[in-house]
Structure 1
Amino acid sequence: MIETWRWYGEFDPITLAEVAQTGAAGIVSALHAIPYGEVWPPEAITARKRSIEEAGFVWSVVESLPVHERIKKGEGDLSALFANYRQSMANLAEQGVQTICYNFMPLLDWTRTDLAAPVAGGATCLRFEATHMAAFEIHMLGRQAAEDDYSDEVRVRAAAWYQQATEADRDSLLKSIMAGMPGAFDRYDIPGLRTALAAYDGIDRNDLRANYARFLAEVVPAAEDLGLRLCVHPDDPPRDILGLPRIVSTGDDLEWVLATQDSPANGVTLCSGSLGAHPGNDVPSIAARVADRIHFAHLRNVRKEPDGSFEEAAHLDGDTDMVMLLRVLLREEARRRTEGRADHVIPFRPDHGHHMLTDHDRDFVPGYPLIGRLRGLAELRGVIRGIGHV
């Protein structure tokens, strides 16, 4: 497996010189300053690739080439947006970047309610607290039908939290939920979020699936022609949120994606943290089901709670058997080598990490500190080497 490190370019306080000390060989990056839907210019791709290679790395994976919200909503004439997406793919292929991660989550990317929840020893982690999410949806956003998404116990706790919360508490919750990704994307205040959600009124799971199938039909054949591998990232969290359907949350969902365009170019980013937050998901089992189409892996762990809350655990702790998952991925690599596949090596990155030690002294992208991810990479590296000697 190829060790990689996510780097946010001009938005990242971590330098490539620092990344070099982690031992990672590849960089996972994107052009975050370019608004969604616009073509990634060849000169911008060339400049990003040059900066990565001059630091001694390869640009292993693009994460992400965003899908415009109009495509997700199936809104109006989409021909220009599809053409722009294909052109960006072609421009990346021209520079030798072959793997593109993306997601099809409506409106919001990954969602947490706390960006600095305390963990043992003084570190902090990302957390999704069901009580706080319910308070946000029911009392701050005032979303109709939100109460139906939460248990009586959670609703009672949410009401109590909202009644005693200060304005600063509520602002912090909104900021956490809107944290998303850095770069050219929208952050909403409450009225703005209500307006954005209204644009999805009437779009259910079947509608979103149809819009996704249309997207795949438009881009997968082009990926085949260009020699690219597309790999969808699962929903995070893997559940409907803010009344929006999520359609890439389970093993069945992933198999639907792969069957919709049955091509090696249409693959999966196996994210153990996103899939692991679903109470019904057995992540190593899901990985085995879709193994031949895993083009990229995000390795992290979560610890779930009965009410739907979860927080990010250390990479080898939590609810997912990381050793078993790595065995699945390494077996798949061996199978590909036996078949003589050129893409037999799977790039992976230590996904997220606890903010710990000197991480607290710097302003990192939430979930992407230096020391916490270095710890995760070291632990995963050790497991991989150990499995290789068994």
Structure 2
Amino acid sequence: MKIYRVGSLFAGIGGTCLGFLQAGAKIVWANEIDKNASITYKENFGDSYLQEEDINEVKKTDIPKLDILIGGFPCQAFSIAGYRKGFEDERGNVFYQIINVIDAQKEVYGESPQAIMLENVKNLRSHDKGNTFKVIKEALESRGYTIKAEVLNSMDYGNVPQNRERIYIVGFLDPVQTMNYKFPSPIPLTNLLNKIVNRGSRLKEEIYKEFYYTDKVSFFDKLKEEMTSHETTYQWRRVYVRENKSNVCPTLTANMGTGGHNVPLILDWENNIRKLTPRECLLLQGFPKDYKIPENMANSHLYKQAGNSVSVPVIKRIAENILAILNDRELFNNELYIEDQAGQLAFLPD
């Protein structure tokens, strides 16, 4: 079975890369601009192929040949007028760097990556009144891809107890492969919150001590009054306490690294209050227990990295299905055609 070569844009600390590696692909190139995220990435993947640089400055024709291009890109507004005038009018938008990589692959190697997988916030479809998704779809289609997109929640599709909805865009150059591709089916949530979160109060005197809240916190009395469950998580929302009553963790966000104010809180078995640790946040994203955290890196950076990352098991399941489709084409020599009633190749609906 062929080993497919993957290039990763906006790689962060490697969650997307790890999912594809676990599925059986090979990462041959990755790019990340954040220096602290790059440190964590190199700690776990080595430094042989990560290009730590602003993607706008990367020489795209130097990127090695890719079979699959992946990335979770920042969501920015698009101008339809600017798009119609050409991509040169939208150089500041990082999505177009994805297109530039595709174009460079075609220029240098004679063909674009066979498949793409992009991840973003769930409201990408409605962003800018649907204009953003429209431009993304048109841009990819103009490069020969047909795409499917679906919103998946990590707690339903990754067996991690985090309420995290993200849109995943999968596309292939061969439209038959796109039609045959299926997103993963829901699976039961068996990896419950208290299997990840350690509520042992003994930790208060050990390495977890810095994560505990005391009466020195101005809203401590309000926390003590409202936090009563040992099964769920809470958050302080400026003036009130919010409980996640579904017994999962709320969506981890990058701004957890901004003063730690948005880090979910838990009540330990002796009713002490503390924040989730960076390690627990990584576990709630589905990273393995042995994923390396660089020594002496500030917790603020680690929280940001966890919140910016993806849920690894969801990526793995998506990647497994992508690889299965690519291998089916290789094994069955394009015999998996699906045609509509008129005998024409049936393309995906909008």
Same fold (TM over 0.5): no
* TM-score of the two chains, using structure 2 as the length reference: 0.33
- Structure with the bigger percentage of helix: 1
* TM-score of the two chains, using structure 1 as the length reference: 0.30
